[in-house]
Structures are given as C-alpha cells and as structure tokens.
Chains A and B, each alone.
Chain A
Amino acid sequence: MIENYRHINILKESVCSKFPYFMGGFDRQYEKFGDDWASAFNRELEIFFGSDDGRIESAALGYGAFCLDSMKLQVEFNKTLEYRNKTYAEASSEVYQNRDYMFGLYLPGILISHYLWEHHYVQLKFYEKEVIPQIEDIDNPLIYDVGVGTGFYTKEYLRRVESSQVVGFDMSPHSLEHTEMMVKRWDFSERYQSRLGDILERDQTELCDVINSIEVLEHLENPVEFLHGLNKMLRPGGLGFISAAINAPNADHIYLYRNADAVAEQIQTAEFTILSQTVDQAYEPRKSGDIVPTNAAFVVTK
C-alpha cells in the first residue's frame, strides 16, 4: 500500500492539500509500477529532503505550481500548435538565472516529476535497462552530464556505477548548486565535479566514456550545434544517453520537436549512431486530436 511509504505520503498530502486534483497521479503511478516505484521514490525523497518535513512541503508547492504552469501552456499549445516565441536569452533570464524560480518551483518540480510523471519514470527504467549494463564493465568510467538540471541523473550514475567519476555541465549556477546538494546528500561528492558555462565555448580535451544529456535539446535555439558539441566530448566507441521533450510546452522550451523522428534525425546528423530508443507519452490523449507531451530517449554511440 502506498500509505506504507512515509515520505511519499507527506508529499502526497502536501500536494493534495493545495492541488487536490493531483491526487490521482500518485495512485495511478503506484497501481502501474507498484512497490519498486514506491520504494525508490520514497528513498529519493528520504535522502534528498531528509527528516525535515517542511522541505518536502515546500517542494510539493513548487511541484504543483510547476505542473499547473506546464498544463496551462499545454492547453494553449493544443490550440496554437506552437511554443510561445522566446529566445534562449529570454528563457535564461526568466528561468535559469532566476534563483527564486529555480529553487522555488522549477527544480523541485522536475525532481519530483522523475517519479510522478509516467513518461519520466519509464525513461528512468529504460536507462536502468539499456544504459547501465553497458557501463558496468568499463573501468572507472568518466561520465559527462551536460545540462544537469536537478542532478538526478548525475546522482543515478554515481549511485549505480561505483567506480564512475561524473562531471556536470550547466549554464545555470543554480542547477549546479542543486546538483552539488544532491550529490552531497547521497554522499558522492568525492566523485563529482561541476563546470559552469557553455560546452560549445569550452575546449574539453579529455574525452569521456559516457555522455548524458536529458531533456536539454528543446531548451536550445540550435540543438544540432549542441549535439555536435556533445559528439566532440565523447571518445570513439563511447556511449551516450540523450533525450528530448516533444510537443511539451514549458516556460523555457524553445525548440519545438513535433515527433521522435525529428530528434533522431538531428542526433544522426551529429554523427551519433542510435542503438536503442524509447518514446513515451505523459498520459493517454483525452480525446482524438489532443496532443500529449511526449519524451524520446536514445542510447547512442560514436
């Protein structure tokens, strides 16, 4: 029973006290993914938020607000079929460089979405099945996580591959701060370093064994240029895990992918070879013609 998981219950009660219509999301995930999901989610909350219930309550407010914002934009998107016109500089100023927004809403929202949004959790399971087994045999793999966001995947690599070293790159100092907090709370700080700035302006001489970039492409004006940048950072024969959001308006989504093929085409243009992929919808369309946010994730090599 989901009630057996203390931290999930604190989160659920906090979310539902402010946003009662989100109640079903918790129960649906539990019904679909069971105790494996609940156990992992509870552990995530327990380690990141600790015993301070106030932290979870605050994150719950951020998560709810983040979802409301995104869903409202989705209704608008279903009518216009376009993202709101925004430059990277505008999105950066509004979101990535805005500490209050990042820590109050954006980062807690994304962190919790890894477990509460079906397509994000399916992506995590795909990563566990398709990516991790290919890294376990590499001695002391060097992993670059480009666009760390909350630090969720950085932490996942450090947790699942004990000999790994991870370097996190991001344009947002707040994302890097959040990632450092994440890594510290999981006690992995000794195997993690961070780099602030644009990878395209960096001369990264040491090539990595694994490159990770989760839902970064849709935030960029020129994702192909960025993908070429990722390719340059990866050693020949190395592994990549790259994903993108499709038809998913958000305050900082700039580049509109209308289907997974468009993402795959750009990945191949950047001279990656796709090994496997998963394409997952956030939820079943309510009625014919509704466009649903979708996630496409690719395991690639060079």
Chain B
Amino acid sequence: MTTIEQLQPIFRSVFEDDDLIVTREMSANDVENWDSLNHITLIVEIEMYTGLTLTTEDLISLANVGDFVDMLESKGFVPNGAG
C-alpha cells in the first residue's frame, strides 16, 4: 500500500467527500473546500496517523500532495508493506 493510499481515507474524511481520489498532482486548488481550516485539520489528522510532528518549515512550499508525501517519507514515514 502506498502512502497516498493509506492517507486517502483521511483526505476523504476531512474534505467530506467519499469519492475523492487522491493523486500526487492534487493540490488545494483542485478540492473545493480545501481552505486554511481544513488544511490544518488535515495536517493534524495526518500527524496523529503517522506519529510524526510536522513543523511549519515542513509545511511551507508544498505545492501538491506529492510534495507532501515526499516530505512525510523523508521524515521517516514508511508505508505499510514497503519495509
């Protein structure tokens, strides 16, 4: 299971869209209610899921989900079945 596949239920829950398909190219501009409040909720939910603490520096300049996933993996998150 990839990191994106593992995080997809969190995205669906935060953005209240059970059909949302998360891709590496997806960004805030592609999801109607991806505003600042939902962004922070997403970050906090992902912190809880991964056990990582994300700093402001980690979160600046993430252009899309792919950048976000790369950042998580660079901080040590290992997707299930990948290690």
Q: Which residue of B lies closest to A286 (CB)?
A: B37
Interface string of A71-89 (1 = CB under 8 A from B): 1101110000000000000
Chain B CB within 10 A, most for which of A21, A71, A76: A21
Chain B positions within 8 Å of A24 at CB level: 35-36
Question: Is the contact region of chain A dominated by helix, strand, or loop, or is it mixed?
Answer: helix
Q: In the complex, how many residues of chain A place their beta carbon closer than 8 angstroms to a beta carbon of chain B?
A: 21
Give chain A nearest CB distance to B53 CB in angstroms.
10
Inter-subunit contact A65/B56 (CB<8 Å): yes
The reply to whether the CB of B60 lies closer than 8 angstroms to some CB of chain A is yes
Question: Is the contact region of chain B dominated by helix, strand, or loop, or is it mixed?
Answer: helix
For the complex, what is the distance from the CA of A20 to the CA of B37, rounded to whole Å? Answer: 12
Give chain A nearest CB distance to B51 CB in angstroms.
16
Q: Which residue of B lies closest to A65 (CB)?
A: B56
Inter-subunit contact B61/A18 (CB<8 Å): yes
Chain B positions within 8 Å of A20 at CB level: 27-29
Inter-subunit contact A71/B37 (CB<8 Å): yes
Inter-subunit contact A283/B37 (CB<8 Å): yes
Q: Which residue of A lies closest to B41 (CB)?
A: A75
The reply to whether the CB of A19 lies closer than 8 angstroms to some CB of chain B is yes
Inter-subunit contact A75/B60 (CB<8 Å): no
- The answer to whether residues A21 and B36 also contact, given A72-B43, A75-B41 and a CB cut-off of 8 A, is yes
The reply to whether the CB of B12 lies closer than 8 angstroms to some CB of chain A is no
The residue that B60 contacts in the complex, of A19, A74, A286, with Cβ under 8 A, is A19
For the complex, what is the distance from the CA of A23 to the CA of B38, rounded to whole Å? Answer: 13
For the complex, what is the distance from the CA of A24 to the CA of B61, rounded to whole Å? Answer: 17
For the complex, what is the distance from the CA of A68 to the CA of B27, rounded to whole Å? Answer: 17
Mark out the residues of chain B between 24 and 83 whose CB falls within 8 Å of any chain A CB in the assembled complex.
27-29, 34-41, 43-44, 56, 59-61
Sorted from nearest, which 10 A-B pairs have the closest CB atoms? Answer: A21-B39, A20-B28, A71-B40, A21-B28, A65-B56, A75-B44, A21-B36, A68-B56, A24-B35, A18-B61
Mark A residues whose CB is within 8 Å of B.
18-25, 61, 64-65, 67-69, 71-72, 74-76, 283, 286
Mark B residues whose CB is within 8 Å of A.
27-29, 34-41, 43-44, 56, 59-61
